[in-house]
Structure 1
Amino acid sequence: MKKWLGALMMVTLSFGLLVGCGNEDSEASGKGDEASSGKELKLAHNLSEDHAVHKALVKFKEGVEEKTDMSVKIFANGVLGSEKEVLEQLQSGAVDMTKVSAGALESFSDEYSVFSLPYIFESKEHYHKVMGSDIVQGIYQSTEDKGFRGLTYFDAGARSFYTKDTQIETPSDLDGLKIRVMDSPTAIKMVELMGGTPTPMPYAEIYTALQQGVVDGAESNPTALTTGKHGEVSKAFSRNEHTMIPDIAIISQKTWDSLSEEQQQAFTEAAEEATDYHRDVWNEAVAKAEEESKEMGVTFYEVDKEPFIEAVQPMFEEAKEDERIAEIINGIKEMN
């Protein structure tokens, strides 16, 4: 009888151990799905709902919801804070995704500074070819240790100088002019080399700064003249097209790691679809902005870019002192 009871206990114990191990294996294999299944993700940005990037983010949201059982709630118009504040919330886990200019990511990874180098892209075709390459995928992953990674890019157009009434034909025309720039070391250096006085400030402050003469000009794409109403106080747009700095959609590394491989693939596909959609919407937005700006009294000037290109060459020499940056620059140039 004792032998029979002992054997029964051993069988029961063995069965319990097998069940326990089975549960552990099940939990480990389904961790990503269980952590994210049915979850609502927060996506915040500081643009208006009629902006081309917002429309593309809506497209991304729809793609995620179609391909997974998760949902995405978009907070537009900076309701959750400035670009910098939302970035901090994303790192802390309060926000899952956001959109920022690549220039704002320089402080997190030197690799992003390549996008701010003037005339790094030879043409719009070259730009899109590079942005869809493995080079950029590597840059996206360079901030994983900072708590986030890139998902995709959105074309933010070519940036040029615009002022109250001064046509900028050569770098010497910038002498003595205070030009608003993003808070980017590369943008600051660029304007200095061209002869202007760089003045970093938030985008939301540009209109008043132009109106009150705090700055003499700014640099951005033509949509700033209409969506930011800068065309009301700046009438000379000089198309020197010094940079093509993309907007980057980023996702919290914590959120990304919580996704299963299938979910990560779905997010990647939704992001790529959003970028393709945005390209057409953006081109329409720029054409419309130029038309409306002319009605506001803005004059667009064509500019010989060569003097500007020559002025900023020291930036490339300095950037290439870093082996990794030199590798990226050379890879981009080879793709032209």
Structure 2
Amino acid sequence: MNMIFRLSASVAVIAGLTLSASAQEIVLRSSDTHPDGYPTVEAVRHMGELLMERSHGRIGIEVYHSSQLGEEADAIEQTRLGVIDVIRASFGPFNNIIPETKVPSLPYIFRSTDHMRSVVDGDVGADILAAFEPHGLIGLAFYDAGARSFYTGNTPVRSIEDMAGQKFRVMQSDLFVDMVVALGADAVPMPYGEVYSAIQTGVIDGAENNPPSYESSAHVEVAGYYTLDEHLIVPEILAISKSTWDRLSPEDQALIQQAATDSVAYQRELWDAAEAAALETVVANGAEIIEIDKQPFIDAMAPVYERYVDTPELQDLVARIQAVE
């Protein structure tokens, strides 16, 4: 597989990337696993429109949504090799490659969406973006992916005590399992497509996700209690292949970086609207939105942080994030 990737990369250098080969047209291929119309997809399109306008039609972006260029792990590898130029990706696949990405993936590391945005818009965010370069990527910007919360079918979670004994579906992730166990519940890894029937039949008591996913999956039909604990507020990365970047002029690099930065506000606007609409829809469909005291949930994460924040560098990064107002 790696040989195929290297061959593809060589072909891209020779034929594709009309990048340095033509000063008249630069077409960047961008990959996203999300469907057409999703806020991240539309934000990269907006970035392309800004580039077309500011470069007087010389630089554009072709957006390939819905995993057309491969599932996320493969698309990341192809971007690192220069076969794909631009990628929007979640942090999870990078956790074992780039240590700094583990920290924004920690439960309750961000106090709120506003806190997350303040962090990634500042020096800490710049340092995390810089950590991608040694791994074949230039981090351009962070996009929102919402806040994930727990939802249940029979027993609402109004306090940490209500977590005890309940079974929650989680992704195949040691971090997710450890988080749920630390809260006193049972973690059940399973494919996302099985969640509806598993809640309906009592195999599990609930799951966790952001409001748009909770709404679009119709899980509200079998799990009508949505607890706003917001245990994960993990941003997503927008990056460009370093091999693509290195073939651009400094002027074009600046144009692309500025367009990426300017696309963030547009993506956040789309995401906020999607989240608000989703909450409105699930309430109309009978869901109860439950606000809680998060502090006991946060306090329960001590063993999780002890396990995953395992170097002085990561401990310093956690402290810097927590210090941001």
Query: What band does the TM-score fall into relative to the shorter chain?
Result: 0.7 to 0.9
CA distance in 2, matches of 1:63, 1:125: 26
Q: Can you list the C-alpha shifts for 1:88-138, whole angstroms capped at 9, x where unaligned?
A: 332333322221222332122121111122222223332211110121122
Task: Name which of 294, 311, 323 aligns with 1:322.
Answer: 311
Aligned length: 306
Equivalences for 1:74-85 in 2 at 5 Å? 74-85=63-74
Runs of 4+ aligned structure 1 residues displaced above 6 Å come to none
1:180/1:105 CA distance change after superposition, 3 Å = farther
1:335/1:95 CA distance change after superposition, 3 Å = same
Which 5+ residue runs of structure 2 have no aligned equivalent? 1-18
Give the partner amino acid of 1:229.
Answer: A
| Match in the other structure for 1:62 | 49
Q: Is contact 2:148–2:232 with CA below 8 Å preserved after alignment?
A: yes
1:227/1:254 CA distance change after superposition, 3 Å = farther
CA distance in 2, matches of 1:294, 1:171: 23
Cα deviation for residue 308 of structure 1 reads: 0.5
Q: Is contact 1:161–1:219 with CA below 8 Å preserved after alignment?
A: yes
Q: Helix, strand or coil: the match of 2:230?
A: strand
Q: Would you tell me which structure has more helix in proportion to its own residues?
A: 1
Q: TM-score, normalised by structure 1?
A: 0.81
Q: Is contact 2:81–2:243 with CA below 8 Å preserved after alignment?
A: no
Give the partner amino acid of 1:58.
Answer: R
After alignment, is 184-193 or 212-221 more displaced? 212-221
Give the partner amino acid of 2:181.
Answer: E
Give the partner amino acid of 2:159.
Answer: T
1:79/1:307 CA distance change after superposition, 3 Å = same
CA distance in 2, matches of 1:62, 1:278: 14
Cα deviation for residue 243 of structure 1 reads: 1.9
Q: Helix, strand or coil: the match of 1:191?
A: helix
Matching of residue 278 in structure 1 with residue 270 in structure 2 = no
| Match in the other structure for 1:24 | none
1:264/1:297 CA distance change after superposition, 3 Å = same
Which of the two has higher C-alpha Rg? Answer: 1
Cα deviation for residue 160 of structure 1 reads: 0.6
Q: Is contact 1:168–1:174 with CA below 8 Å preserved after alignment?
A: yes
Matching of residue 41 in structure 1 with residue 28 in structure 2 = yes
1:235/1:268 CA distance change after superposition, 3 Å = same
Give the CA RMSD over aligned residues.
2.5
Q: Helix, strand or coil: the match of 1:150?
A: strand
Q: Is contact 1:104–1:184 with CA below 8 Å preserved after alignment?
A: no
After alignment, is 240-249 or 101-110 more displaced? 101-110
Give the partner amino acid of 1:153.
Answer: F
| Match in the other structure for 2:118 | 129
Q: Is contact 1:161–1:217 with CA below 8 Å preserved after alignment?
A: yes
After alignment, is 174-183 or 272-281 more displaced? 174-183
Q: TM-score, normalised by structure 2?
A: 0.84
1:48/1:328 CA distance change after superposition, 3 Å = same
Q: Is contact 1:194–1:308 with CA below 8 Å preserved after alignment?
A: yes
CA distance in 2, matches of 1:145, 1:35: 27
Q: Percent identity?
A: 33
